[in-house]
Chains A and B, each alone.
Chain A
Amino acid sequence: MSAAPAPRYLAAGESALVVEFGAKIDPAIHHRVLALDAALSKANIGGVIETVPTYRSLMIHFDPRRWPMEELVAAIARLEEAPRLALELRRRWHIPACYEPPFAEDIDLVASALGLSAARAAELHATARYRVYMYGFAPGFLFLGGLPQALNFPRRPMPRAPVPAGALLIAGGQALIASCPMPTGWYMLGRTPVKMFAPRRDPIFLMGIGDEVCFEQIGGSAFRELTEAAEAADYYPRCECVDDRA
């Protein structure tokens, strides 16, 4: 077994610790982040308040009364040295997405700049398999990896007018699902009626970090029907389990 390099343990004040596995966006680095998160959760270490997995690091918020920084680092390092746990089963989500006007405001612009038809751009975006790397920016706001190289397009020099919740955004080789209206330097290729964040729904957030996402193309009328169903909280997108151990 090739030994992975030891992570860096970095203080973020006296009440949070960053365990950093690398500096880039890489599924292998992200896998180590999630493995440590799972090991920590299983070990149920007292005084650990909550953890925040990101692309390349795990932030551990802890009670400094329970843990001086160095002692927590030693406890985490012991977990890192233990045999890796197999990760929990991940899920694969099939998210309905509409790539037709008026739900795909920027698709013509992006497609023509990349020398593609709008239909081909939609197909490329929908059929790729994405990995949920992290949430950030706002509740339920998803950062995805796995955008096809053919859709790699730089960010806008100036932000565009606000996109609505559910906007499927791309730029700089990454993909996002917006959970709230926001102005953005990204491009809106389509829109999903699925609410990624619904405070009164159980579950409040649909996707786990590490889950897989693909999109299913729907038309404008299906979009409107599903939007109503999602509003009434009686609609969940289809998902199945993915077993990485197989």
Chain B
Amino acid sequence: MIAPKSRCLRVKQAGPGATLQDAGRFGYLRYGVTPAGPMDFAAFRTANLALGNDAGAAAVEIATGGFEVVCEGAPLWLAFAGGAFLWQRDGAGLPPAARIHLKTGERLAARAGTFGAFAYLAAAGGFDTPSVMGSRATHTRSGLGGIEGRMLKEGDLLPVAQAQAVPDFEAAIAAPWLARDCDPIRVVPGPQEDYFSPAARARFFGSEYRLTPAADRMAYRFQGPEIEASQGHDIVSDGVALGAIQIPGDRQPLVLMADRQPTGGYPKLGHVAKADIGCLAQLRPTETCRFRPVTADEARAALLALEDAIAGANAHLQPLRLPLTTQRLLNSDLIGGIFDPLGEL
């Protein structure tokens, strides 16, 4: 019997920054292990849930460098979401978030669109690469997870696990949390809030900050009015959580993202509310944002509301109406029934 890798995608093009991510590598933070995981968990979970996957199943995280795959072996159900990337199946446009059935030999391509820095491509069943320390998440700096601990590249084969159940119709995902959100990013002040004078805090929360090109999966460095730490910009190391806003010696905010280290030695003015971390992650260099303070309880309420909405993501599925390209018509069984070569019907 031949046992081919019958369920897989072949990478045809991978721009910089494409990695495999699951929900993250947890349980080893105390040993200095970076959690990794998706930059925009809302988009990541949405793509998985649209396929009936576990919300944290491994998916491809695509950056603005774009990505293209071809279906090898059996046809696959796929879903994608995040930002307003431009998606095409064999050259025909698709919505920025959708689930589709990709047939053998068909290509699916993504490139950066009007907004957004990260999109997710999930497969029904989940991508089935080896689990390292309980996770498939890629952390390139320590070479863990994904494929050989590195970014994806042309020629990689992405195996897909057998799905428990598959969808029965192609659909666009019109979820409100995937839209661009320009509200001020919510921030819970602390834990080194007392390192910053009321004036320094007022300046931070009253100003616009521009994302610099120094923005990657580890940290986003912003530029704007300087924030001085009244007790100095070094502290004895303590723990660091997702979204920590560090103020190092250059007095410019540095927000720690998915590939953060679990500890750090700069004072932290606050933490970006987890409900808004995806909005922040979707910024591109030169784009601006503002921050506003909220309590931990307000941030918690916002997170629970967002998570509940994402859990009901499939209420936002709308059957996909595809543009009738010539190629699709020729491939279609309908061709003998209605055929309007001059487009006059």
Is the Cβ of B32 less than 8 Å from the Cβ of A11?
no
* Distance, CA A205 to CA B28, complexed state (A): 10
* Distance, CA A207 to CA B190, complexed state (A): 31
List residues of A (183-229) whose CB comes within 8 Å of B's CBs.
197, 199, 204-205, 209
Write out, one digit per residue, whether chain B residues 261-281 have a CB within 8 A of any chain A CB (1) or not (0).
Answer: 111100010011110000000
B30 within 8 A of A: yes
Q: Contacts A25-B236, A55-B237 hold; do A13 and B31 have CB atoms under 8 A apart?
A: no
List residues of A (57-73) whose CB comes within 8 Å of B's CBs.
57-59, 61, 64-65, 68-70
Is the Cβ of A52 less than 8 Å from the Cβ of B29?
yes
B339 within 8 A of A: no
- List the interface of chain A (C-beta within 8 A of B): 10-16, 18, 20, 23-25, 49-59, 61, 64-65, 68-70, 134-141, 143, 179-180, 197, 199, 204-205, 209
Is the Cβ of B271 less than 8 Å from the Cβ of A13?
yes
Write out, one digit per residue, whether chain B residues 1-35 have a CB within 8 A of any chain A CB (1) or not (0).
Answer: 00000000000000000000000001111111110
Contacting residues, chain B, for A69 (C-beta < 8 A) = 296-297, 300
The count of chain B contact residues (Cβ–Cβ below 8 Å) is 44
Is the Cβ of B241 less than 8 Å from the Cβ of A135?
no
Q: Which of A16, A141, A205 contacts B241 (CB 8 A)?
A: A16
Q: Contacts A52-B29, A138-B261 hold; do A64 and B300 have CB atoms under 8 A apart?
A: yes
* Distance, CA A14 to CA B273, complexed state (A): 7
Is the Cβ of B304 less than 8 Å from the Cβ of A139?
no
B299 within 8 A of A: yes
B289 within 8 A of A: no
Least CB distance from A133 to B in Å reads 9
Q: Pick 8 A–B contacts, CB within 8 A, sort by A.
A: A12-B240, A14-B303, A49-B26, A54-B237, A59-B241, A68-B297, A139-B28, A199-B144
If A12-B191, A14-B299, A15-B242 are given as contacts, then 8 extra A-B residue pairs at C-beta distance below 8 Å, sorted by A number, are A11-B189, A52-B30, A55-B237, A56-B238, A64-B300, A134-B30, A139-B142, A205-B31
List residues of B (170-220) whose CB comes within 8 Å of A's CBs.
188-191
Is the Cβ of A23 less than 8 Å from the Cβ of B142?
no
B128 within 8 A of A: no
Q: Which of B239, B242, B296 contacts A57 (CB 8 A)?
A: B239
Is the Cβ of B190 less than 8 Å from the Cβ of A50?
no
* Distance, CA A143 to CA B31, complexed state (A): 11
Contacting residues, chain A, for B34 (C-beta < 8 A) = 139
* Distance, CA A11 to CA B31, complexed state (A): 22
* Distance, CA A204 to CA B25, complexed state (A): 14
Nearest neighbor of B299 in chain A, beta-carbon distance: A14
Is the Cβ of A180 less than 8 Å from the Cβ of B142?
yes
Is the Cβ of A68 less than 8 Å from the Cβ of B263?
no
Q: Contacts A13-B241, A24-B236 hold; do A141 and B32 have CB atoms under 8 A apart?
A: yes
Is the Cβ of B261 less than 8 Å from the Cβ of A204?
no
Q: Contacts A59-B238, A139-B31 hold; do A12 and B263 have CB atoms under 8 A apart?
A: no
Is the Cβ of A11 less than 8 Å from the Cβ of B30?
no
Contacting residues, chain B, for A53 (C-beta < 8 A) = 30
Write out, one digit per residue, whether chain B residues 224-262 have a CB within 8 A of any chain A CB (1) or not (0).
Answer: 000000000001111111111000000000000000011
Is the Cβ of B236 less than 8 Å from the Cβ of A56?
yes
* Distance, CA A135 to CA B31, complexed state (A): 5
* Distance, CA A204 to CA B27, complexed state (A): 12
Is the Cβ of A54 less than 8 Å from the Cβ of B239?
yes
Q: Contacts A139-B142, A199-B133, A205-B31 hold; do A18 and B239 have CB atoms under 8 A apart?
A: yes
Least CB distance from A137 to B in Å reads 6
* Distance, CA A198 to CA B115, complexed state (A): 40
Contacting residues, chain B, for A16 (C-beta < 8 A) = 239, 241, 271
- Closest 3 A/B residue pairs (Cβ): A59-B239, A13-B271, A10-B191
* Distance, CA A69 to CA B295, complexed state (A): 10
Contacting residues, chain A, for B30 (C-beta < 8 A) = 50-53, 134-135, 209
